Structures are given as structure tokens and as C-alpha cells.
Amino acid sequence: MLQSSGDLLLFFVYVASLAVVVDASYAFYVGSSLTASGDILIGGSGEEVSGHWLQIFPAAEHAANETITVGVTDEAVLPGRLITIPQVSHTHRYISMEYSDYWGLPAPLTNGGLNDRGVAVRDVWAPNRRELVDMTPDPQTGVNYSNLARLVMERARSARHAVEIIGELIREHGYATYGGNTHLVADRDEAWVVWEFAGGRKLWAAERLRPDEVRVLYPGYIGDFPVDFERDPENYMGAPHLVTFAQEQGWWSSRASKTPSLINLVEVYGLAQDDTSPVGGGVGRVSHREMEEATLKKVPVTEQDLMSLVRDPRMSTDEAGYGQVVRLPKDSNMDPDLRRIWIAPTGSVAAPFVPWWLGVQSVPPEFGQHRYLLKEASSTFLNPGFQLQEASLFAGRLFKRVLYYMCSAPRLFRPLVQDMLVGFESQSLRDVEWVERTGEILVSAARRKEGGTDEAGRDLLHKLLTHYTHSRASHALELGSSIVDALDGYIKMTGGWRDPVSGDKRMNLPADEEGINCLLLDEPDSFDATTTPPPPLAALQQNQRPLTRAAKAFERFFGGS
């Protein structure tokens, strides 16, 4: 039972992050030995009750005395105080899905993206043990998870450099948290998982992932970790007091351990569970182990394979804000403008991935920031400066409509809609070959010029990439509009329309219920996109039953306290 207001706060922190899938971001890593191209693949999504929009940040030079503001405010679920830290002299160009709100952290926020040095980063929640969260100072100070993701994109030259940046920032400024996070960082050569811990003790750990490994963070975790990790900096990094702190707290002892040379960080610092549920406790409909096994079945994995995994309806639901997939080519001479990331404008279960290169010079207004799910939108009027952008169609909202229609009868509509999404992406993948080949020709021509600075060739490259991506984004909107119109007409003309439940005036999802998903009644823990649809009217009468997890999480976390 709850013993105090502190326990009540912890209930909201943990039940919100563990039991309700809305806060369960996820990430995939596929090592280069397991992919069709021989390159590392990264993918995933962020799940926040927030507006999401695409943004490209240019490289920039900064003054010697320039600072940036980081941390959390007193509005955060674990209150804090903002601080300023020095800015570096140069920040890289990067592309990111931004969002406006997460548990009171100051906007804009990001889970990561891709920079012009070929460093990709994804943030994933990683819950810590109750005692550690309870140690968090009030107010807390330091860089938050979004700050770290952004600073990695702005500053990192490699994945290893990204790990070093995270560790140094935590050492110098501390870490402000809502209960623990991980960052998956990767480049063309290697990938790491970095786990940042709550408690205000500047604790963190990083593990290098193998090229023959698949890792699904759902949530983030690191398992067995060498006690003498500082002797193997090629594969492990961390706070120097990582092991001694656990010993001092009585959470780990080499004498009591069956493997005294290893400390299992999930068991010591996290919420340990068995491998049949996500590390940290049964938040979803599928475990990280099951998704790792599903990924291994697709070896050698392609970009399109990873897209299908990221959009798996057991993971991609109404809560998913977007989808991302990136391949990190081994080519050391790759031009920064030709680095590419695939992004779906909302949950990819119902939205297509569109290719975006770092050389794209602008984002269409339909994919930029809108007021849909924007914090404070319901209590303020529109800034006139955003008048035309807000008047434009919003891709995120359009494909939410696809999601809601599709998931109203998933057995009938899901295979049809996803066939169209895959077909759209297949065409994009074919186009990418000639777009990038043409881009390489323009780059080669520019490099042959004296000094390698053919501005005309570079300008043509930017125009090519921008034109193609804008065209493809426009075609994605046309596809989404066609799907919405077709499903809307079909549902209404065949008697499938359902009004809201009589007498229920709530549009907001209760905290103890799970939201909209595209699972079938008979497949809560499996996904087969080739399932034969039933007769149309029978399918329209089917409504998936949400799976409630909050009560079990409450009992698991507070039972016996």
C-alpha cells in the first residue's frame, strides 16, 4: 500500500512509465554482420503525449562565451532547476523529430536523429530501482535525456565520441531525470548503449554492442557488466564509482554474486524481470527478447525489414509519435549531404517512411510544427507568425486519422493499408538508388574542381535532394488522404460507423486503460500481416479489446510495502 505522498509520486512515475505504453519508447540495433548491406541499422520510435514535427538544424559557429540552458524545471515530475553550460565553438548539422511536452520537461524535446558526421542516436526510457529514484535531489540539476540526445547530435564525431560526451556532461553538470534513460548511439563502425541513472549521483554505464548482435531496447537496459570495466575501455565505459556505489548501498556484493567478476546492471540498478517480459516489467504486448528473436529471423536484415519491425502493431500504436530507420554505410568518404534517415510522420503502423537526407534544405510546412497536441494549445490563440503553417495540412494528424480508421477493424483494414505503405516505401527505395547515384556524381564533380569547392555542383545536389524529398513527402500526403477517404466512405456506406459510447463524455484515456492499437482479438501477442481478412461486415463489427496493465504494475511495484 502507499505509505506517503512520496510513494504517491513514485506511483505516478512508475505506473505511468511501466504500465501505460504511452511512455514506452523503443529502439532496434542490428549489427553489421546481420544486415544485407553489411552496415549497422538503427530504428525505433518515441512515445509521448505531444505534438511531433520534423526539423533540420544547420551547422553553426558559436561565440567563445556562448551558453545553453539545460535541465528540468519545477514543473517536471521530479522537480528541478535549469542551469546554463558552455556551448562548443561548432555544432553539426542534424535532423530530428521534435516534440513539445513530456512530464513537464522544457520544450522543444528530442529523442535523437542523425547528424552530418554519420552519428545516429535514439533515447529510450530505462527505469531505475525505487531506492535510486528516491535519492533524486529536490530540486535536481543537470542535463536531461533530451539535452543529451541533442548535444550528441550537435557535437559527436563518432559513436565513441558520443559516449565520451555523455559521460563528461554528467560528470561536470549532473543528470536530471524522471527515473532513468538509455541512449543508443551508433556510427558506421560501432554502436553503444549508454544508461544514465537517477538519484543525482552522476552514475552512468556504457556497453559496446557486437556486430553479430541484435539489441531491442524496450525499455533500455544493460545486463552483465565487468566489475573491472575500466580495464577494457574498448568495450565498456562508466562512472568510476559505478560498482562501489552499489556495494555501499548493499545492492551488490562480489561475495554474494554467482559471477563475482560481473555486475548485472538491470538487477542492481534497474527493475529486474524475467526475459519473457520487457526489462522493467511487462509494459507492452511483446517482450524485448521476442522482438530480438523476430529480428534474427529476418537475417540478413534490410532497411525495409527494419521498417516492418518498427511498425509491428504490438509496439507501434496510437502512442507512437513517429518512426525512424537509418542505415549507417561503411563508406568513409561518404559526403555528409548524402547521409539518409527514413522517418514516418506519426506511428509507422499507419504511416509511410519517407527518406530525408542531410542535404535537404527545408521541411515542407505539412511536416513542420502544428498545434495538434501542442502543450498549451487549448488555452492560447495562434501566433500570427504561424498562421499559414497552421493552415496547411498536418501530416501527423492526417496519418492519425488513417490509424483510427484502420484500427477500428484491424483484421480487414490493416493488411490493406500496410500493403499500400510497403508499396510506397518500395518505390522510394528504388528511387533512392538513382537519387544517390546522381548525388555521388555531383559530389565527385565538385571534388575534382580545384580546391574541391564547386558551389554550383553543391547547390545542384541540394536542389536534387530537396526536390525529391519534398515530392515524396507530397505523395505520402496524397496516399494518406486517399486512404482516409476510402476508409471513411467504406465504413459509413457499409454500416460500420460507431458513435461514442452512450453517456461517456470522456475523450481522454483513463490512466488505468490502454489506448488504441491495431491488434486483433485473437492475436494479442503475435503479428501476421498476411492474415486473410474475414467478410467485411464481420470485420467492421470487431473491436480490439485493450489490455489493462496498470493494476498489475501497481501490485508489482508496491505490493507488500
Judge whether 218 lies within some domain: yes
Length of the chain: 561
Q: Please check whether residue 553 is in contact with residue 14, taking contact to mean a CB–CB distance below 8 angstroms.
A: yes
Q: Give the model confidence (pLDDT) of 517-537 as tens digits.
A: 998 865 544 434 444 444 444
Nearest to 270 by CA among 433, 130, 395, 373: 130
Q: Which domain, by its residues, includes 29? A: 5-347
| 270 lies in some domain | yes
pLDDT above 90 as % of the chain: 75
Q: What's residue 510's pLDDT?
A: 77
Query: 226, 264 in Cβ contact below 8 A?
Result: no
Which residues, 6 or more positions from 96, have their beta carbon under 8 angstroms from its beta carbon? 54, 55, 57, 110, 112, 113, 150, 153
pTM tops 0.85: yes
Q: Is residue 458 part of a domain?
A: no
Whether 451 maps to a domain, the answer reads no
The answer to whether position 423 is within a domain reads no
Tell me whether residue 532 is in a domain: no
Number of domains in the chain: 1
Three-state DSSP string of 243-292: HHHHHHHCCCCCCCCCCCCEEEHHHHHECCCCCCCCCCCCCCCCCHHHHH
pLDDT at residue 476 tops 70: yes
**First CA to last CA across the chain, in angstroms?**
6
Question: What letter represents residue 98's amino acid?
Answer: E
> Per residue in 318-342, pLDDT tens?
999 999 999 999 999 999 999 999 9
CB neighbours of residue 293 within 10 Å: 12
CB-CB contact of 128 with 270 (8 Å): yes
Banded model confidence at residue 284, pLDDT cuts 50, 70, 90: low
Helix or strand holding residue 122 (H, E): strand 120-125
CATH number, position 281: 3.60.60
Res. 24 pLDDT band, cuts 50 70 90? low
How many Å apart are CA 124 and CA 45, to the nearest integer? 9
Share of the chain above pLDDT 70, in %: 84
Supply the mean pLDDT for the chain.
88
421 part of a folded domain: no
pLDDT reported for residue 452: 55
Contact of 143 with 109, CB cutoff 8 Å: no
Task: Determine, yes or no, domain membership for 86.
Answer: yes
